[in-house]
Amino acid sequence: MIRFIYVMLLVLCLTAATVQAKTLLILGDSLSAGYGLSQQQSWVHLLQQKLKEQNSGWTLVNASISGETSGGGLARLPALLEQHKPDYVLIELGANDGLRGFPVTQLETNLTAMVTQIKQHQSKAVLMQIRIPPNYGPRYTKLFTDLYPKIAEQQQILLWPFFMETIALKQQWMQADGLHPNLEAQPVIADLMLPLVSSLE
């Protein structure tokens, strides 16, 4: 019996030792920065806790800034790649470009340049689909929405669904501005993101 327990403990230790440490850099805007909330309340922090409980080996680095545009993300990316040397980078950007009516061609250039930089640093890029309100008309909205799968296909990278598509449907999960997820929505987003992050190799 004692020998059996010893063997089991050894197996558990070896299993724990084989968990590979991996880093996911999240390059986003206010939707990932936890706008109006503390960092401990944000979905990124809650997701990190869930991943730790699963002994997944994942470390999340939240480099999201409220108000960030694709241009701002592109400017900050080189230093972030050098500092954190992530295995993956999730690009959750573009909403502020769309809300300001920036040209879709400019957004495409910035997103593509980010993906290129990430690949050059031997990291893998993941692009999140972004959707915007139809403020600038159906043509602009369609061009904007269609851009994300286009880049994902051209660059052969993962395209993740926009978590706000689920959150925005329920008023009780939105802040008074109608744009940002509230405190109640944060664990819901963490639950939506958990299987996506866990599926990364």
Active site residues: 30, 177, 180
Query: What are 102's two structure tokens?
Result: 């920036």
Query: What are 193's two structure tokens?
Result: 């993101």
Q: Residue 15: phi, psi to the nearest 5?
A: -65, -45
The DSSP string of the chain is -HHHHHHHHHHHHHHHHTPPPEEEEEEE-HHHHTTTS-GGGSHHHHHHHHHHHTT--EEEEE---TT--HHHHHHHHHHHHHHH--SEEEEE--HHHHHTT--HHHHHHHHHHHHHHHHHTT-EEEEE-----STTHHHHHHHHHHHHHHHHHHHT-EEEPPTHHHHTT-GGGB-TTSSSB-GGGHHHHHHHHHHHHHT--
